[in-house]
């Protein structure tokens, strides 16, 4: 268990993210990144970027093509028919619940992934339409599918983010940033993926585990992921990076509530430590 205690660090005054010390004591005294409260906060922050609500549990049934070149996007972290993680999710669901509403799409999802990247978006519609979205939404009522989504989220995205955060010696805000990068950019060590973005940041600033300044290092992580978003053409001026920049500017490395943040023009607030779900 990571022994460090995280609390507010001094930083510039910021009305949106300035926490009250007395109200933050519940989080301030928590030891260990594995504390489920930190996970719940991170899930809520990323959910506001992904689905415009801190209630991540509303996203089990979400499914649509958002025209990002990845085919259908669905579920808690936006599994995609054109990137392979949706195939892995449906495989996991089918292993746990054979005969589920999505099992019949496994051959089509495999065929999509066998195709070149550029052909996958159109192939997703040709092979999965018209019934796939409705069947996904029907499956979202199944506790086994909800459980599969949470388990795959933790296996592919949360677990690696937690492991890397502990290794690098970052606190709760760093963990939340790592998780958001993991979800948005995917696993891997190439320059555009989770591991590669962290590697780029380490070249600019040492992580705390190597004696570096935590705020400076985390700012480098945010800058590295912004550079990738710009290279993709996905960068938005008030996009998901604003969540983390605001908290960094306020010095709230411990994610001590109450604090607020803005993303894509919407403002959200966390008034107290949330109950893990």
Q: Annotated active-site positions, please?
A: 50, 68
* Eight-class DSSP state of 158: I
Neighbours of 275 (CB within 10 A): 8
User: Is 85:79 a contact under the CB 8 Å cutoff?
Assistant: yes
Neighbours of 138 (CB within 10 A): 15
Quick one: three-class SS letters along 168-180? HCCCHHHHHHHHH
What DSSP string describes 49-61?
Answer: HHHSSS-GGGGTT
Q: Which residues contact 117 (CB under 8 A, 6 or more apart)?
A: 69, 82
């Amino acid at each position: 268990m990571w022994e460090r205690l995280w609390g507010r660090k001094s930083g510039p005054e910021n009305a949106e993210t300035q926490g009250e010390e007395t109200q933050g004591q519940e989080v301030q005294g928590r030891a260990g990144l594995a504390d489920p409260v930190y996970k719940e906060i991170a899930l809520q922050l990323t959910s506001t970027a992904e689905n415009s609500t801190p209630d991540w549990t509303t996203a089990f049934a979400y499914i649509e093509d958002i025209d990002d070149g990845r085919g259908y996007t669905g579920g808690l972290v936006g599994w995609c028919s054109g990137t392979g993680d949706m195939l892995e999710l449906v495989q996991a669901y089918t292993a746990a619940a054979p005969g589920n509403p999505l099992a019949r799409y496994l051959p089509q999802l495999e065929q999509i992934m066998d195709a070149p990247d550029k052909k996958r978006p159109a192939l997703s519609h040709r092979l999965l339409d018209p019934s796939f979205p409705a069947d996904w939404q029907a499956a979202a009522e199944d506790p086994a599918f909800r459980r599969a989504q949470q388990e795959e989220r933790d296996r592919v995205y949360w677990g690696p983010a937690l492991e890397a955060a502990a290794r690098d010696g970052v606190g709760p805000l760093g963990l939340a940033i790592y998780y958001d990068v993991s979800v948005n950019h995917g696993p891997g060590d190439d320059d555009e993926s989770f591991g590669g973005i962290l590697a780029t940041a380490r070249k600019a600033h040492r992580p705390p585990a190597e004696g570096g300044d935590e705020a400076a290092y985390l700012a480098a992580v945010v800058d590295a992921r912004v550079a990738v978003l710009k290279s993709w053409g996905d960068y938005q001026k008030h996009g998901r990076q604003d969540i983390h920049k605001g908290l960094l500017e306020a010095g709230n490395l411990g994610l001590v509530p109450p604090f607020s943040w803005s993303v894509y023009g919407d403002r959200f607030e966390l008034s107290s430590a949330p109950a893990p779900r």
